[in-house]
């Protein structure tokens, strides 16, 4: 991992409920065990120690194993060990020594004048923080057998636990990447499925023109070629600006206008400042197609088609409203809408991101997206 990713990963690890649950469980069990053995803590470092140490284990011990400086999620065993020994030694000794010094200070402040006591305090009992006297030389504080024993034990455990946690998170990341890759592949497959579906409906609408108006049919075939080109360009891209989506819809409407003539009346309520935002392509086109196929084309007088794009708070709102034949409640959805719902789910949008509703004489299909690309 690189430094920014490593810092983010460590921060997320400290926020996990499992981390805090393990720290609290260990600290409580340790403290209750001491109570049972009659060695209840009577200084504040003794209270903090069984909570601070496991938190440091869980939060800090995997860091040197994960630092690689590149995209790899974990260092190899040799490099990880070389990084883990000094890293863990610093925080293990630091925590033990800091709490031991604080404990020693507490004892010396409360000691009666003339009271004789060994400089390193009484024998260490269960869970007791190693205590040192502030008056001791610095070298003797670090090299005292108690400090050395505690530091070596904690360091060994930190090395082992760090490797286990780093390997566990590497496996979780690998699994998460595989799930995302599978979802992306499925979304691309659904996106590719839209291309023949759009062309099938467009060609189906032109068959009647071939018999009735040969010139209009020729014009429609030219428009169909342009539509196919746009479908091929957009269909191969994971993301495309909304300006491209509008261009594709305009080509599709030009094709339908040849067939429907004045029965199709369109209105754009389109915020051009949002056209640079990138979304997966072919999100809006199925809604336009559905509105024409089920709302405007079946109605003798045709209908109005309103296409809108706007920003509402943190959400991007885009969709289609049409008059004509009304929305039939409970009717089964066609391939286009089912495909769109599946794509939205794979893209991580909410289940209600696509909404169909009636608003007076209008049938409204709108997408309310949390994710929106920046211009």
Domains of the chain, CATH where assigned: 3-177 (no CATH), 213-369 (3.30.565.10)
Report the range of poorest mean pLDDT among 72-86, 116-130, 144-158, 340-354: 116-130
DSSP classification of residue 371: -
CA angle 45, 51, 53 (to 5 degrees): 85
The answer to whether 190 touches 94, Cβ cutoff 8 Å, is no
| pLDDT higher than threshold 70 for residue 96 | no
Type and span of the H or E element at 138: helix 138-143
How far is it, in rounded angstroms, from Cα 331 to Cα 325? 13
SS (H, E, C) 223-246: HHHHHHHHHHHHHCCCCEEHHHHH
**The pLDDT of residue 142:** 56
Burial code (b: 16+ CB inside 10 Å, e: under 16) for 6-30 equals beebeeebeeeeebeeebeebbeeb
32-58 tens-digit pLDDT: 887 887 776 677 777 887 888 888 888
All residues at 6 or more sequence positions from 107 whose CB lies less than 8 Å from its CB, including other chains: 43, 121, 131
Q: Which residue has the higher pLDDT, 370 or 365?
A: 365
Q: How confident is the model at residue 367 (pLDDT cuts 50, 70, 90)?
A: very high
The answer to whether 74 touches 170, Cβ cutoff 8 Å, is yes
The answer to whether 252 touches 285, Cβ cutoff 8 Å, is yes
Q: Using alpha carbons, list the distances in angstroms from residue 286 to 213, 291, 302.
A: 27, 9, 19
Q: Using alpha carbons, list the distances in angstroms from residue 84 to 36, 56, 158, 252.
A: 36, 14, 9, 61
157-185 tens-digit pLDDT: 889 999 999 988 888 887 776 666 555 55
User: Side by side, which strands form the sheet with 303-312?
Assistant: 264-270, 303-312, 315-322, 362-369, 354-359
CA proximity to 345, closest of 257, 270, 283: 283
Q: Which residue has the higher pLDDT, 218 or 308?
A: 308
Tell me the backbone φ, ψ of residue 363, rounded to 5 degrees: -100, 125
Residue 159: burial class (beta carbons within 10 Å; 0-12, 13-18, 19+) = buried
Q: What's the mean pLDDT when you consider all of the chain? A: 78
All residues at 6 or more sequence positions from 244 whose CB lies less than 8 Å from its CB, including other chains: 230, 233, 234, 281
How far is it, in rounded angstroms, from Cα 188 to Cα 175? 20
| pLDDT higher than threshold 60 for residue 136 | no
């Amino acid at each position: 991992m690189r430094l920014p990713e490593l810092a983010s990963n460590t921060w997320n690890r400290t926020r996990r409920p499992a981390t805090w649950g393990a720290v609290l469980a260990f600290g409580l069990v340790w403290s209750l065990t001491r109570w049972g053995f009659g060695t209840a803590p009577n200084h504040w470092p003794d209270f903090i120690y069984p909570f601070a140490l496991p938190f440091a284990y869980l939060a800090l011990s995997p860091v040197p194993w994960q630092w690689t400086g590149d995209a790899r999620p974990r260092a190899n065993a040799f490099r990880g060990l070389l990084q883990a020994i000094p890293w863990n030694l610093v925080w293990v000794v630091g925590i033990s020594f800091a709490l031991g010094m604080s404990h020693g200070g507490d004892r010396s402040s409360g000691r009666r004048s003339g009271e004789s006591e060994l400089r390193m305090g009484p024998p260490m009992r269960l869970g007791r923080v190693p205590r040192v006297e502030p008056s001791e030389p610095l070298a003797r504080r670090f090299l005292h057998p108690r400090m050395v024993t505690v530091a070596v034990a904690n360091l060994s455990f930190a090395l082992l636990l760090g490797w286990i946690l780093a390997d566990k998170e590497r496996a979780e990341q690998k699994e998460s990447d595989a799930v995302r890759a599978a979802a992306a592949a499925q979304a691309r497959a659904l996106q590719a499925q839209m291309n023949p579906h759009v062309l099938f409906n467009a060609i189906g609408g032109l068959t009647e023109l071939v018999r009735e108006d040969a010139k209009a049919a020729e014009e429609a075939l030219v428009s169909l070629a342009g539509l196919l080109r746009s479908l091929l360009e957009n269909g191969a891209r994971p993301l495309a600006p909304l300006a491209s989506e509008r261009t594709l819809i305009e080509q599709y409407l030009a094709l339908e206008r040849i067939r429907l003539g004045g029965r199709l009346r369109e209105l754009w309520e389109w915020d051009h400042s949002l056209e640079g935002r990138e979304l997966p392509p072919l999100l809006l086109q199925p809604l336009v197609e559905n509105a024409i196929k089920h709302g405007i084309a079946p109605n003798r007088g045709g209908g109005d088609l309103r296409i809108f794009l706007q920003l509402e708070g943190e959400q991007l709102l885009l969709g289609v409203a049409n008059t004509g034949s009304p929305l039939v409640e409970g009717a089964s959805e066609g391939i286009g809408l089912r495909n769109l719902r599946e794509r939205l789910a794979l893209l991580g949008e909410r289940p209600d991101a696509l909404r169909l509703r009636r608003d007076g004489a209008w049938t409204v299909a709108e997408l309310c997206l949390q994710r929106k690309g920046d211009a």
